[in-house]
Amino acid sequence: MTTQVLHLVVCAAPPAQAVDELVGLLQNKNWTVCVIATPRATGWMDIEALARQTGNPVRDEYQGPDSESLPRADAIAVAPATFNTVNKWVAGISDTFALGLLNEAIGLRLPIVVAPYAKASLAAHPAYARSLQTLGEWGVTVLPNEVIRVGAARDVFGWGPVVDALDRV
C-alpha cells in the first residue's frame, strides 16, 4: 500500500497535549505524518516523543537557507486550530512557520481539514465565523467548532472526525 504524507499543524489549545493519539490513528490509516507546531503549541506537546513516533522532527520555526525541507504534503490537517491561527490564516499572515505552510497550501489547492477549537466566548466573535466560512469557500474542509471535545473532559479528545474527514479528501 502506498503511503501519503500528511502535514499535521498543531496550535496552542488543550487538545495539543494529546495529539500523539491522533498521530497514531493517522499512522494506522497509512499516513506518513509530519507534525508542525505553532511556537506556542510546543509548550503543550512532547516534541521529542512526537519526533520518535513520526520519524520526523517537529517543526515550529522558519529555518535558515540551508535547512532541510519537509517532505511534500499530499494533505494537511490543522488540529486543534485556534481562534488566533484561523483568523491570521484567513488574513494571509505568515508570522509562524505553520501559517506559512497553511497560506501556501491554499495557493497550492492542497486538501486541508481543519478542526477548530475555541471556547464559546471566542467562537462568538464575528471574525471567527467569518474566517471559518471563508476557509470553506476556499475549499477547506472545516469541521464544527470543538467537534474533537469529549464532554467536559479536559484531557480526552475524540479524533475520529479528523481521521474520517481525511479519509474523504
Ligand X SMILES: Cc1cc2nc3c(=O)[nH]c(=O)nc-3n(C[C@H](O)[C@H](O)[C@H](O)COP(=O)(O)O)c2cc1C
Distance CA 148, CA 15 (A): 8
Stretch that binds ligand X, among 65-73, 76-84, 131-139, 158-166 (CB under 6 A): 76-84
Q: Which of positions 41-60 make contact with ligand X (CB under 6 A)? A: 41
Residue 89 interacts with ligand X (CB under 6 A): yes or no? no
Amino acid at 33: V
According to CB under 6 A, which one of 24, 91, 108, 119 is a site residue for ligand X?
A: 119
Q: Interface with ligand X includes 82 (CB under 6 A)?
A: yes
Query: Angle at the Cα of 162 (from 26 to 164), degrees rounded to 5?
Result: 80
Q: How far is the CB of 107 from ligand X (least distance, A)?
A: 20
- Residue 145 lies near ligand X (rule: CB under 6 A): no
The single-letter DSSP state of residue 114 is E
Rounded Cα gap, residues 145 and 115, in angstroms: 7
Please tell me whether residue 131 binds ligand X under the rule CB under 6 A: no
CA distance 124 to 82: 14
Q: How far is the CB of 77 from ligand X (least distance, A)?
A: 15
CB under 6 A: which stretch of 7-15, 45-53, 54-62, 153-161 binds ligand X? 7-15
Q: Is 31 in the site for ligand X (CB under 6 A)?
A: no
| CA nearest to 34, candidates 72, 68, 8 | 8
C-alpha cell at 10: 498543531
Selected binder of ligand X within 6, 8, 13, 102 (CB under 6 A)? 13
**Closest C-alpha among 98, 70, 86, 79 to residue 138:** 86
Residues lying near ligand X in the complex (CB under 6 A): 11-14, 38, 40-41, 82-85, 96, 117-119, 122
